[in-house]
Amino acid sequence: MANGKTMKWETFETELKQREQAIVSMLPQHVGKQRFINSAIAAVKQTPDLLTATPRSLFAAVTKSAQDGLLPDGREGVITLYKEKQKDGSWLNVAQWNPMTFGLRKRARELDGVIVNAQVVHENDRFVRHEGDDPRIEHAPAQLGQSRGSMIGAYAIIRNDGHILHREVMDAAQIEAVRTQSKAPDSLMWKKFTEEAWRKTVIRRALKSVPCSEKLETIVRRDD
């Protein structure tokens, strides 16, 4: 088993070196080329199961990360693994690139000059949403030291030059519907980093509701 993993790693390393110039050519100027390559290598070392994915899907994920101008470092984005059923009934491990909350906010600011704020609402928070002629959101988290209770929803506010462009609010049922439709509804993201998944979900929906550059739209729709 160890030898098999070593062979897969060596194959990945060799192919990455062969594709390196093509991949880094897609990066924005402000993203260091060697830093990106080191990040891709670290991502696979930290999650060696990615080597069980089809090579085509793994390098496609790395390429999309470069195209988005984000590092696959677990903060700006992450490469995940899911099983894809084939026509003959068999299953293949497939790698997928997923921009994270930090990455979405970062690129929204860099590409379109918009600031995105997203928060999760808990049952013991005070949350009021006003619509009509004076739309606004009031959110006061439970006092420090007090239990905030279960998560019941999330919201995102998008600003540009001090003006609010859009407010998006989703309750737990709407977020759960998104989870069940995802390729990996029981992934580590949804199971362990649930709050991150909720924030990311509402950010993606919010950004789809405002005019965006083509580049940002592509990043936002990566998980579709």
Share of the chain above pLDDT 70, in %: 98
Confidence label for 1 from pLDDT (cuts 50, 70 and 90): very low
User: What's the distance, Cα to Cα, between the start and end of the chain in Å?
Assistant: 35
Show the tokens assigned to 35.
Answer: 């830093």
- What's the order of all strands across the beta sheet hosting 151-160? 115-122, 151-160, 163-171
Q: What is the largest CA-CA distance in the chain?
A: 66
Measured CA to CA, the distance from residue 11 to residue 30 in angstroms comes to 29
Is pTM, for the whole model, over 0.85? Answer: yes
Return the beta strands (E) in 124-213 as ranges. 126-130, 136-140, 151-160, 163-171
3-state secondary structure of 102: helix
pLDDT in tens, 100-146: 999 999 999 999 999 999 999 999 999 999 999 999 999 999 999 99
